[in-house]
Each structure stands twice: as structure tokens, then as C-alpha cells.
Amino acid sequence: MLNDFTGADKVYIACGYTDLRKGIDGLARLVQQQFELDPFTNTLFLFCGRR
């Protein structure tokens, strides 16, 4: 469920399948390592699972 994210500076959409079983820590690590971005900024990251 999404809250009100109208204050987000940027929105990034990860194309393709992402293993959501990684949990929040694994997804934050993915943002840092693969996208070379800081997951703790005022940014919204969207990931898609298989379904």
C-alpha cells in the first residue's frame, strides 16, 4: 500500500522482475549497488515482482 508520496523529489522504476523476497534491506542494497543511488534520499523506488 502506498502512502502520500507527493513530496518525493524523484521516482525511479526498476524495469523487469525483482526478487521481492530480499526484503527492504536487500532492496536498499540493490539501489546502492546496481543503480549507484542513495536509497535514503527523498526518492521513491518502485519494484515489480513476478505477479
Residue 1 lies in a domain: no
Q: Give the other-Cβ count within 10 Å of 13's Cβ.
A: 9
Q: Is residue 4 part of a domain?
A: no
17 lies in which domain range?
Answer: 10-48
pLDDT digits (tens, 9 = 90+) for 5-44: 788 899 999 998 999 999 999 999 999 999 999 999 999 9
Look at residue 33 and tell me if it is in a domain.
yes
Confidence check: pLDDT of 1 > 80: no
30 within domain boundaries: yes
Q: How confident is the model at residue 2 (pLDDT cuts 50, 70, 90)?
A: low
Do residues 39 and 31 touch, judged by C-beta distance below 8 A?
yes
In a domain? residue 2? no
- The tally of domains found in the chain comes to 1
- Phi, psi at residue 22, to the nearest 5°? -65, -25
**16 within domain boundaries:** yes
Structural domain contains residue 25: yes
Q: Tell me what percent of the residues of the chain surpass a pLDDT of 70.
A: 96
Owner of C-alpha cell 535514503: 40
